[in-house]
Structures are given as C-alpha cells and as structure tokens.
Structure 1
Amino acid sequence: MNIFEALRASHEIQRELSEKLIQTSGNTVERRELFELLKNELFAHTVGEDRYFYIPLMMTDSGLNITRHALSEHHEIDELLEQLTETDMSNHGWLAIAKKLSEKVHHHLQEEEHGFFQQAGKILEDEQKQSLAQQYLAEYNKYKKLNKDSLT
C-alpha cells in the first residue's frame, strides 16, 4: 500500500460520516455519535497526514505551495469542528455549521485526490510512498484508538 491508498481509505470514511451527519436532526443520540465518530476520524487522519504526507512534501520547494494550502484547509476544518463542539446540537444553526463542515471536507478531499496527490506523486520516490504509508497508518491507528478509548 502506498501513502495515497492509505489516505483514500480514511477519505471514504470522512465522506460517509459527514454525509450521514447532515441528515440528522436535533440533539439526538445518532447525531452525537456521528459527530464524535467524524471528529475522531478527522483528528486521527489529520495528525497522520500532516506528519507523514505534508511535512515530507514541505521539505521540497515544489511541495511547499500545496502543503501550505492543505494545512490552511485543515485549520479551517478544525475551526468548524470547534464551532460545532461549542454549539448546542438542538440549535438550528448547528446543522448549518455541519453543512459547511461537510462541504469543506468534501472540497478538501477532492482537491487532495485530484490535484495534490498527482503533484506529490511526482515529488515522492516509490519507496518513500510505501514507507510513508506505513508510518501514516501507525499514527492514524494510534490516534483512532486513543480517541475511541476516551469516548468510552
């Protein structure tokens, strides 16, 4: 498995959870569970992706611009998650923020998969792509487990 395949697996989970989340209403158990699952997924993915995809790219001149843009979008997603965490789920504005989050997540994943990955594919060596995938998955799984344990 290479880094792009590893990242895409989490991308699919993010798409599914964000779509399901915006179909919920009110302060329900389903909404709370989906939101926690999405927050957990985004956090674990971002930590691993930043460390084992974007930082290695940032070390090259040709990877600097895509890295800056992606990290900026990660920050925007974090801010929307924080707004959702601070807003009561039964507030009608909560769903509007959740929809903005879903749109931002979908936009970001689309950009990564149809732009950033192609550029990064030209920068990273094949062996590095394999190694980064292993490191990413170890970090991703560690944070998925840590967050899952803190939820129970």
Structure 2
Amino acid sequence: MKIFEALRQDHEKQRLLLKILAETSGDTQARQEYYQELKDQLESHAVAEERHFYSPLMHEDASVELSRHGVAEHHEIDELLEKLDNTDMSSPAWLHHLKALKEKVEHHLDEEEQEFFPVAGQVLNDNEKEKLADGYTDEMKSELQS
C-alpha cells in the first residue's frame, strides 16, 4: 500500500463519522460515542500524517508550502475540537460547532486529496510512498491504542 491509499482510508472514516454525528441530536450516548471516535481518529491522524507525510515533504521545495498549510489546518481542527469539548452536547451551539468542524475537515481532506496528493506523487518515489504508508499505519495503530 502507498501513503495515499492509507490516508484516503482514514479520510473516508472521518467523513463517515462526521456525517453520522451531524445526524444525531441531543446529549445521547450515541453522540458521545461517535464524537469520541471522531476525535480519536482526527487527533491520531494528525500526529501520524504530520510525521509520515508532511514532515518528509517539508524538505522539498515543491511541497513545503502545502505541508505547512496542512499542519496549520490541523491546528484549526484542534481548536474546533476544543470548542466542542467545552460546549454542552445538548446545546444548539454544539451542533453549530460540529458543522464548522465538518466543513473544515471536509475542506482539508478534499484539498489534500485534490491538490497535495498529486504534488507529493511527483516528489516521492514508489519506495518512499510504501515506507511512508507503513510508518503511517503503524503510528495510527499506536496512537489509537494510547
């Protein structure tokens, strides 16, 4: 597997969790569980992606700005997660913050897949793509278990 497939698999999980969460209402057990799963996915993904995708690409002129932009968007996502953590789940404000998170995450994922992946595909060789995928998937497993 190459890094792009590994990232896309997790992107699809995130999209699905966001869709499910947007359809929940109130402070329910389901909302709490889906939110925790989404939060774990997003936080683990950011750590693993920054180490095993953005970091190696920051050393290349063609991809340094895209890498920095991706890291900045991860910080924005972290801030939205913090807002959600500090808002009562049964409050209308919680759903408002969730919609903002959904828009930000979907924008980030789409931008990454449509703009960043093609550039990274030219910068990285096949061996690097496979090694990065292995490192990324191992890191994701480790992060999700901690």
TM-score by length of 2: 0.98
Q: In the alignment, what sits opposite 1:22?
A: 22
Structure 1 counterpart of 2:31, which letter? R
- What do residues 40-97 of structure 1 show as CA deviations (whole Å, max 9, x unaligned)? 1111111110000000000111111101111111111010000000111111100000
- What do residues 3-51 of structure 1 show as CA deviations (whole Å, max 9, x unaligned)? 0000001000000001111111111101100100000111111111000
Alignment partners' CA distance in 1, 2:60 and 2:111: 20
Quick check: 1:113 aligned with 2:76?
Answer: no
User: What RMSD over aligned residues (CA atoms) do the two structures have, in Å?
Assistant: 0.7
Quick check: 1:141 aligned with 2:137?
Answer: no
Q: In the alignment, what sits opposite 2:9?
A: 9
Q: In the alignment, what sits opposite 1:71?
A: 71
Structure 2 counterpart of 1:132, which letter? L
Alignment partners' CA distance in 1, 2:30 and 2:99: 16
- What do residues 77-129 of structure 1 show as CA deviations (whole Å, max 9, x unaligned)? 01000000011111110000000101111111101111100010011111100
Alignment partners' CA distance in 2, 1:60 and 1:113: 18
Report the Cα offset of residue 144 of structure 1: 1.2
Identical residues among aligned pairs (%): 50
Structure 2 counterpart of 1:77, which letter? I
Alignment partners' CA distance in 2, 1:112 and 1:61: 17
Quick check: 1:56 aligned with 2:38?
Answer: no
Alignment partners' CA distance in 1, 2:99 and 2:130: 35
Aligned residues: 146
TM-score by length of 1: 0.94
Alignment partners' CA distance in 1, 2:59 and 2:87: 38
Alignment partners' CA distance in 1, 2:72 and 2:123: 21
Gaps of 5+ in 2: none
Gaps of 5+ in 1: 147-152
